[in-house]
Structure 1
């Protein structure tokens, strides 16, 4: 599937059991995404706990997802780090394994200058022929390069898209028409997906796809602009999480719906009992909605 057809993408959580990646559950998760009509998945990003995976685990995870997907959906690998050489190495390895593309974050923690960030992306994109989606999430990286970064990379043909992070709806809305046309634009802010679509976004790379892929796959710009009721109700899950939105929260929800382990790796910890209970109540309130139909999921 080409980038132009990519609309609904799930940031896939990595299932663990007793400290190890549980491949049978991984296969079930990929099958669920295919069955419900999701266009693609991203593995090893922040929701996939890529920061807590060893290099061989990342390789096996990507290989397993590609094998299970068997061309039925696109499989992207999150390869971004705050080390340019490491990012290049991970990107090249993803290409060797057969990834359909890579998601590369703006470097975090070290707070490089705009010139440094531009150099980082030029180096990474120049090391591969794979499509690159730039992950722009100042909420996590503490670095806001915004429009200036996108304008500086327009000549690099394989940087094809942008994932806009939490609280970036207004920044996306302010982008000039030429930058809107030049890149495919995806949101990872699960609280504003309908508004992002209504403002002209192309799609999303969403952790909510782990919880209710059918609803996300079925959502259209028309439904979003009309204020999709099921989606707004499902957002109660975010409220139940009390401001926390990470792999542990997603796994708490999938544990309730699909009876999968809620296990995460340090430095993440499982959600507190009261948060788990609130999530359970939020999901129970949605019982009967097609979004949570086990037959569809």
Structure 2
């Protein structure tokens, strides 16, 4: 796949006026981002508020997203897992019964327990043996509390059935530079921090999983295809604005303001985004949608930094 084939949107879960999951709005949103250039969708990621959904709601979300992906020929990924290896293995095994078998499962490094690098490797070795689909490791160290060095990243890549990684450490660090500089054959590396994704694409990442691509999907696809440095700066600034408050609160507020979902509701412990954060993101989005007055610069790679006017968000709010 080319970079332009690898923009994944980790879909939000729209809620209706009484707080119910609105699968019709979810389906419409899924089609919209695919129309605008995304070629993959993620169900039940962090952005979906998966932890706040009951079993029936999770099943409805998964069925809806899977059906759209199959109809559109899009890549279908499902978020799976907890800190417990046995329970996660059972959840993975249950994927075989879904109406649409996912192309991959996105599985987070165990959180809170901090099992150490060897524990993480053993965890994924056990999960890969139980899974009917390939695994994408979700390395998001500022949420899990578990750092991974380059040797551990390569050990994970060597596990049969582990075919990729969503890299979300809140930085362009030495580990990702080393991994992308000598990437294991057949192992996909996807950027997962919206602020830093332009830099990872420039360094050779295979694509990205981007919550901000709910809104600037076509621009992200353009960046992946062209490496336009100026566009990378602007998308990085949008990502910073959308993560200024806990994800996905600002994204939902902007989607609602644009009339794309029925409410901006989130479930506790999240609280709705403030008007200032919503309006700042809307302003950046509107500017991104305006026609360019000069040709795109394609001679450089996209840069990671947010614009000076848009402060970088706290690390805990970065990853999609």
Query: In which range does the TM-score fall when normalised by the shorter chain?
Result: 0.7 to 0.9
1:244 aligns with 2:248: no
Aligned-residue offset at 1:197: 1.1
1:15 aligns with 2:17: no
**1:59–1:94: 8 Å Cα contact kept in structure 2?**
no
The aligned counterpart of 1:94 is 95
Aligned partner of residue 129 in structure 1, secondary structure: coil
RMSD: 2.4
The aligned counterpart of 1:122 is 125
Paired residues, number: 286
Aligned counterparts of 1:41 and 1:241: Cα–Cα separation in 2:
19
Aligned-residue offset at 1:55: 2.0
The aligned counterpart of 1:293 is none
The aligned counterpart of 1:163 is 166
Give TM-score, length-normalised by structure 1.
0.87
1:186 aligns with 2:187: no
Aligned counterparts of 1:30 and 1:45: Cα–Cα separation in 2:
14
For structure 1, the 5+ residue unaligned runs are 291-297
1:241-286: CA deviations, max 9, x gaps? Answer: 5733511121122122244221111111111222223223333434
Aligned counterparts of 2:27 and 2:242: Cα–Cα separation in 1:
27
Task: Point out the more displaced range, 271-280 or 185-194.
Answer: 271-280
Q: How does 1:207-246 map to 2 (within 5 A)?
A: 207-220=211-224, 223-224=226-227, 226-229=228-231, 231-241=232-242, 243-246=244-247
Give TM-score, length-normalised by structure 2.
0.81
1:222-248: CA deviations, max 9, x gaps? Answer: x32x4043x433443344457335111
Aligned partner of residue 131 in structure 2, secondary structure: coil
Aligned counterparts of 1:159 and 1:265: Cα–Cα separation in 2:
32
For structure 2, the 5+ residue unaligned runs are 293-320
Aligned counterparts of 1:3 and 1:42: Cα–Cα separation in 2:
19
1:14-56: CA deviations, max 9, x gaps? Answer: 1111221101101101111221231111111111111111122
The aligned counterpart of 1:200 is 204
The aligned counterpart of 1:106 is 109
1:76-106: CA deviations, max 9, x gaps? Answer: 1000211112211221222321222100000
Aligned counterparts of 1:242 and 1:42: Cα–Cα separation in 2:
18
Match of 1:135 among 135, 138, 142: 138
Match of 2:285 among 283, 286, 293: 283
